Amino acid sequence: MDAMTNPRADRVKDVAKLAGRPSRTKRRQFLVEGPQAVREALQAHRDCLNAGGEPIVDEVYASRECLDRYPELAELLAGSAAQPGGSGKLRIASELVLAAMADTVNPQGVIAVCRFIDVPLAEVVAAKPRLIAMLCRVQDPGNAGTALRAADAAGADAVILSASSVDVYNPKTVRSTVGSLFHLPVVLGVEPAEAAQAFRKAGVGILAADGYGALNLDQLQDESAARSFDQETPEAAYPLEAPTLWLFGNEAQGLSTQELELADHRVAVPVYGAAESLNLGTAATVCLYASARAQRRS
Amino acid sequence: MDAMTNPRADRVKDVAKLAGRPSRTKRRQFLVEGPQAVREALQAHRDCLNAGGEPIVDEVYASRECLDRYPELAELLAGSAAQPGGSGKLRIASELVLAAMADTVNPQGVIAVCRFIDVPLAEVVAAKPRLIAMLCRVQDPGNAGTALRAADAAGADAVILSASSVDVYNPKTVRSTVGSLFHLPVVLGVEPAEAAQAFRKAGVGILAADGYGALNLDQLQDESAARSFDQETPEAAYPLEAPTLWLFGNEAQGLSTQELELADHRVAVPVYGAAESLNLGTAATVCLYASARAQRRS
């Protein structure tokens, strides 16, 4: 197989265009860069095909050095090529070509072109989820990626981004999810009101993470722990072990009045120190881990 | 007072040089940019002088628009100028001058030149701290800042950065702490072994956050909760309510073998989903909040 060596070739330009939202939206494809993220994409691709689903990875561009260094990539690619519908489209490319394709300065030798993987809201609701994170108007690619990774770590069943949030397929967001984008279903472009209505119908409670919330997350956690020890407790303000949709707001302004009104309760994450507020990643981590612990104990 | 309007003036260049580590180290000064961070610096400055300590803020450069828009800055500055040793060195500067001084593209109208505020290890140890976070070889300015902010939110008594960590006075780190740098004592340039020895002597337990740890943080939390409900429990592996130094490792490699050996226990943060690992901010948040909750309950 001839290596691609011309960074000005049309195909190189076509791949590079995926760093921009118009090309992504039109082609419904996005860039995945670096060995770890591409490995996660190829694993998701394999699992999806095995389950009778659609392919995820359309093309992989890698340097020979990278394939030598990460033999699991070559194995995944070989396995993928052998599958019906699998991507056989591995092209060896020079580092110059890869740099011209990539959004990062250093794509570490490998880039994949993947198909959009977001799913419809109805599909997530139908799967009877117990823990869902919704990001409302989150603007920073890194924050969105970090929150998505925290949701993955906490075992959330899905992440939803509101219509006016940053594009989850932005290369910076993809990068900062460190593969988590391929681990759990992501729903895009939904208004908070629509999501709240759909989940409430399905019996899911709705909590808003809000620094000014009347309920304190510690109180909910203590009540949940007490119940697990069969302690007599007054009726809980909200049973943290219940199926829950958490709403998280914009990094600067938090949740809007309308968004807050969608929730059953507004819950404040305790700030023990002098920090004025929590950043989105910290708040999402504390809230989602609190729910996950309560749900696992019940 | 005449406004500074020449972005090529020597004083402007002098301030701008603080974006680089050599100038910072030589002058023991650093840049603080934007209204929120400068407000935190001025409040810390005021509190420090009131407590008989050294000044923190040496100079403030602000646009007239910024002072009009954030009257609390002008008040803090006026109060500060009236104090003995207080900084009266407010200079009005044009947006062009501020942009030339700043590390950010948009310093939002105000920049402060502050003195280094880190404290010696012995001072932190002598204050009988209950919760300390140590960052070992953390390289990314944003990660270090986020971890520091999480430590502040969890009410940690101090943060320690190992000698080979990113410079906490890097403008990017300062920015990502969102003021938390001024909320709790920070110790710099200490080797993990030295810190471990000093805290162990002071009766502080040492836990290493480690994905491969033999102890699970959930187990420690459950044991701690059970004790608080007077449940009979087997002897705890580690009482989470005890004074604790948490060690967090480099974002890519985690803690080294030598660093792990400094700890009484290696504790894994549970990953409920498919995420391979937690990022530093998430791990620090979960660990420090778990200790803080246990300590507050006991």
Model pLDDT for residues A30-69, shown as the tens digit of each residue: 999 999 899 999 999 999 999 999 999 999 999 999 999 9
Q: pLDDT by residue for chain A (298 residues), tens digit each?
A: 678 999 999 999 999 999 999 999 999 999 999 998 999 999 999 999 999 999 999 999 999 999 999 999 988 888 776 555 555 588 999 999 999 999 877 778 999 999 999 999 999 999 999 999 999 999 999 889 999 999 999 999 999 999 999 999 999 999 889 899 999 999 999 999 999 999 999 999 999 999 999 999 999 998 888 888 777 666 778 999 999 999 999 988 999 999 999 999 999 999 999 887 788 988 999 999 999 999 998 7
Residue B191: other Cβ atoms inside 10 A: 15
Binary contact (B275, A231; C-beta < 8 A): no
Pair A166, A140: CB distance under 8 Å: yes
Q: Which residues lie closer than 8 Å to A109 by C-beta, 6 or more apart? A: A35, A62, A63, A65, A66, A69, A95, A98
Pairing of strands B215-216, B265-268: parallel
Place of tokens 């002008």: B74
Q: Which of B123, B113, B130 is nearest to B185 (CA)?
A: B123
For the sheet containing A110-115, what is the strand order? A29-33, A110-115, A57-62, A90-92
Q: Would you list the domain boundaries of chain B?
A: 10-115, 121-297
Pair A118, A135: CB distance under 8 Å: no
B-interface mutation test, from A220, A222, A276, A288, most B Cβ less than 10 A away: A276
Triad A157, B209, B240: Cα angle to 5°: 95
Which tokens sit at A11? 């195909």
Nearest CA in chain A to B155: A273
Q: Which of B63, B110, B58 is nearest to B86 (CA)?
A: B58
Binary contact (B231, A229; C-beta < 8 A): yes
CB contacts of B156 in chain A (<8 Å) are 273
Q: pLDDT by residue for chain B (298 residues), tens digit each?
A: 678 999 999 999 999 999 999 999 999 999 999 998 999 999 999 999 999 999 999 999 999 999 999 999 988 888 776 565 555 588 999 999 999 999 877 788 999 999 999 999 999 999 999 999 999 999 999 889 999 999 999 999 999 999 999 999 999 999 889 899 999 999 999 999 999 999 999 999 999 999 999 999 999 998 888 888 777 666 778 999 999 999 999 988 999 999 999 999 999 999 999 887 788 988 999 999 999 999 998 7
CB contacts of A272 in chain B (<8 Å) are 153-155, 292, 296
Segment A198-223, tens digit of pLDDT: 999 999 999 999 999 999 999 999 88
CB contacts of B218 in chain A (<8 Å) are 293, 296
Q: Which of A69, A42, A70 is nearest to A57 (CA)?
A: A42
Q: Which of A109, A108, A113, A93 is nearest to A7 (CA)?
A: A93
Which tokens sit at B193? 């072994």
CB-nearest to B183 from A222, A225, A274 is A274
Reported CATH class of domain B121-297: alpha beta
CB-nearest to B152 from A183, A231, A274 is A274
Q: What is the ipTM of this complex?
A: 0.86
Binary contact (A150, B225; C-beta < 8 A): no
Query: The domain B10-115 is classified under which CATH number: 3.30.1330.30, 3.20.190.10, 3.40.50.10880, 3.40.50.12280?
Result: 3.30.1330.30
Binary contact (A179, B226; C-beta < 8 A): no
**CA-based radius of gyration for chain B:** 21
Those residues of chain A whose CB sits closer than 8 Å to some CB in chain B are 142, 146, 149-156, 178-180, 183-184, 218, 221-222, 225-226, 229, 231, 271-279, 281-282, 285-286, 289, 292-293, 296-297
- DSSP for chain A reads -PPB--TTSHHHHHHHGGGSHHHHHHHTEEEEESHHHHHHHHHHHHHHHHTT----EEEEEE-HHHHHH-HHHHHHHHHHHHSTT----EEEB-HHHHHHH-SSS--TTEEEEEE-----HHHHHHT--SEEEEE-S---HHHHHHHHHHHHHTT-SEEEEETTSPPTTSHHHHHHHTTGGGTS-EEEEE-HHHHHHHHHHTT-EEEEE-TT-SEEHHHHHHHHHHHHTT---PPPSS-TTS-EEEEE-BTTTBS-HHHHHTSSEEEEPP--SS-SS--HHHHHHHHHHHHHHHHHH-
